Chain A
């Protein structure tokens, strides 16, 4: 018997300051994209379509950080039109690599890059979406993992909690049987304080995790920083920069890097 037809939920994809890589993850679902489009109405997705269906939207995916006065206003409009607001990626969840500005003098940065700084309208800090509006779910990663994205969309459409790990990268290494690069080779690795989910990518090619997925739940960065210094011989500046990377503005990492100024 045919299932009763229900209205397709409306999906919107919004971009703030970012590289487009996370929304690209949706277009990168080559095997699933047409099925997704059958089950949800892609109502607003500028990277993929000129068609714009007016809100409200059932699910909004938000990529990018807030870094201009205009965007700080725009995010409130997005929130008002969205039943569920899910932030995707390191920019939206922690400010992104562009949040390295938060540790510097933005006026000086503007002068360093632009011949006419007076043409540039920017905020002093690049910040996560949750710093501005309530967020229903945060999906981490730089970029996000496309299968996690499908899981999160699926879960929300079916009214259940997404199955996304909140444990550390170390657990993922153990499960994959990756040899610990820190223990075996003395390579600094952010894995102990970083959320799993990327697929154990860096340790599997023999390099340390560089924290694309941001802090795990209840991390202990202080202990890891001590390990970097005392056991691996990293200087203060090196330790500072290990925490000050792709997700450097996430609270636990920001605090730790500032302790090593």
Chain B
């Protein structure tokens, strides 16, 4: 195969991602002439279907955008409604929200790192094949993931699409003995996630350094998970309600997910674990920082394949943080704050495991939704994914098609793309002339 020939690399249905996606790459005369990362997930029209529904229904409806990260949707929607209604959720209720979010980070990060992403580094099709040689490693990962789900169950009533969250807080406070029973398991999981992180740190990471525009939340008092201002390593520092003035979404022919961009319409940006780590490293706990160092991570990570390590550092941190929150938990007097109905517009944004997830709603005087806009993390990362793929294909043209195709898939999986959040998403095709 010569460089002068046209090569096409196609992945029609991308595996080990949540949802349906595809990739098409065309190479002519040794140059990449076209790259399209496609989200082929059928459109579901969430924002339009929310119109006319009561504000209180938004958390349960938007949860159904994604079975892997329902908390991101439930909490973003709740915060936006609280913002519109002029209500603040603080104290023990706020702690419970951060706690359940830690649960979601743990289950989602470990699912992705161990079950979906790690096989790429080992040249294996799936985690069950890892289990054949190393059942202890897979069992350990499954048990950490299970703990994440159990936090969701104790606080939220159910692991997928929890039932106990609402605008203003919770329907019922979690049983304190069940919270306390999580503590010894969290001690075990801190250790287990450290061992998993160190095991993954031994992988070979393909060479790729990108100059990312990292966008994340930042909170003055903590490593931001569920609250904060939107900041970037290029000087953005805005309240959540200014998001749509700085960031846009466009509709491209090849994708059912709108693509996010920064300001002028063509600038990609990065959200997710690497963006958070790069922006907020100093706010990680000392033990998490030490783990990062032991994994060979610098203060800044610019190699997207190392996102698997950042996910495990965040998993460790989330276990530690969950423990701290349970130990310091003082049960509030009520399970939720009152939500008096008023017309208005509200904004919410949280750090879904895959990156910031933005919501805004307008309510009428009866509390019904007049307008809804939701910007999930994977739509924001789409342009950056295409940018990474361009660098990967351009830099590895000597690779055989099958190997290059796998490398492209691995590159997409760096993003843990949650394609089912194509509220408004992949096949791989590489065409070489």
Measuring CB to CB, which residues of chain A are less than 8 angstroms from any residue of chain B?
15-22, 24-25, 27-28, 30-31, 33-34, 37, 42, 46-51, 67-68, 71, 96-98, 100-101, 104, 106, 108-110, 112-116, 119-120, 122, 126, 142-143, 198-199, 201-202, 204-207, 210, 212, 241, 245-246
Q: In the complex, what distance in Å separates the CA atom of A112 from the CA atom of B45?
A: 9
| CB closest chain-B residue, reference A103 | B49
Query: How many contacts between A and B, using CB within 8 angstroms?
Result: 179
In the complex, B104 has a CB within 8 A of chain A: no
Is the beta-carbon distance between B157 and A142 smaller than 8 angstroms?
no
Interface residues on B, range: 35 or more
Tell whether A24 pairs with B160 under 8 Å between CB atoms, given A16-B42, A19-B65, A49-B15.
yes
Tell whether A20 pairs with B42 under 8 Å between CB atoms, given A34-B135, A114-B251, A114-B258.
no
Shortest beta-carbon contacts, A-B, top 4: A21-B67, A49-B126, A51-B125, A50-B15
Please classify the interface of chain A as helix (H, G, I), strand (E, B), loop, or mixed, using the class held by over half of its residues: loop
- Within the complex, the shortest CB–CB distance from A72 to chain B, in Å, comes to 11
B39-78, CB under 8 A of A: which get 1 and which 0? 0011111111101011001001100111110100000000
Within 8 Å CB of A116, what residues of B?
251, 253
Measuring CB to CB, which residues of chain B are less than 8 angstroms from any residue of chain A?
13-20, 41-49, 51, 53-54, 57, 60-61, 64-68, 70, 111, 115-116, 119, 125-128, 131, 135, 138-139, 142-143, 145-146, 149, 157-161, 163-164, 166, 170-172, 250-253, 256, 258, 409, 418, 420, 423-424
Q: In the complex, what distance in Å separates the CA atom of A114 from the CA atom of B39?
A: 14
Is the beta-carbon distance between B135 and A49 smaller than 8 angstroms?
no
Is the beta-carbon distance between B160 and A15 smaller than 8 angstroms?
no
Within 8 Å CB of A245, what residues of B?
57, 60-61
Within 8 Å CB of A113, what residues of B?
43, 45-48, 423-424
Is the beta-carbon distance between B44 and A24 smaller than 8 angstroms?
no
| CB closest chain-A residue, reference B249 | A115
Is the beta-carbon distance between B125 and A22 smaller than 8 angstroms?
no
Within 8 Å CB of A104, what residues of B?
48-49
Within 8 Å CB of B256, what residues of A?
119-120
| CB closest chain-A residue, reference B135 | A34
Within 8 Å CB of B131, what residues of A?
34, 37
Is the beta-carbon distance between B171 and A18 smaller than 8 angstroms?
no
Within 8 Å CB of B66, what residues of A?
19-21
| CB closest chain-B residue, reference A22 | B67
Among A30, A48, A104, A143, residue most surrounded by chain B Cβ atoms (within 10 Å): A30
Is the beta-carbon distance between B409 and A50 smaller than 8 angstroms?
yes
Having A48-B116, A50-B119, A205-B157, one finds 14 other A-B pairs with CB under 8 Å, namely A15-B19, A21-B66, A27-B111, A46-B14, A47-B15, A97-B44, A100-B49, A115-B250, A119-B253, A122-B43, A198-B158, A201-B157, A201-B158, A207-B163
